Amino acid sequence: MCKKSLKGLDAAEINLIKAVALNPGLATPYCNLGLILKGQNKQDEAISFLEQALKIDPNYHTAQHYLNSMTGTTSKTAPKKFVQGFFNAYADMFEEKLVSDLEYRTPVALCDALLKFDGGNKTYASAINLGFGTGLVWVAFKDLVDRVIGVDLSENMSKKMKKRRCIRHICG
């Protein structure tokens, strides 16, 4: 990590310590401080702050999820609120990171496989897209499906999908 980034983390760490001192009854500064310390590989300190956040708010799903990941506790699923928060925060950079940086091509590969399977001359009346994100699956399948029903937990992802005007029924 470059020094500039470390300076930013140090400043954030200092400000969160001040926030904790000003109002020790708020869970969020403890959680955020834990995440910053996690990013600095200060695992024991990070765990301590995440645990403190959970003492204040036992239903703080983000703190619990990160604490679980750091202590080796496997959850059956990530908490719904954690998933919503993560993808709401990530929505604006989702496609750039997934498609450009990670070269994500799964929807196109799935479409190609379906075309091979059905001979390429069939269209479908409807489809369901679970966890539709910003609509990458729909973009790949738009010429094969007349109607897509989409479900996503993230409000910000749903807003991006609505701008594409491709899914007629959005649940999320």
The CATH number that applies at residue 49 is: 1.25.40.10
Q: Indicate if 65 and 127 belong to the same structural domain.
A: no
Mean per-residue pLDDT over the chain, rounded: 84
Domains in the chain, number? 2
The residue segments making up the domain with residue 134 are 105-171
For 54-82, what is the mean pLDDT?
Answer: 90
Instruction: Identify the pLDDT of residue 128.
Output: 86
Cβ density class 71-82: b for 16+ within 10 Å, e for less: eeeeeeeebeeb
| pLDDT tops 50 at residue 154 | yes
Mapping DSSP onto H, E and C, the string for 66-98 reads HHHHHHCCCCCCCCHHHHHHHHHHHHHHHHHHH
Q: Indicate if 72 and 132 belong to the same structural domain.
A: no
The CATH number that applies at residue 114 is: 3.40.50.150
How do residues 4-48 score in pLDDT, each as one tens digit?
A: 344 555 788 888 888 888 989 999 999 999 999 998 899 999 999
| pLDDT tops 50 at residue 2 | no
pTM of this structure: 0.65
- Whether 156 is covered by a domain: the verdict is yes
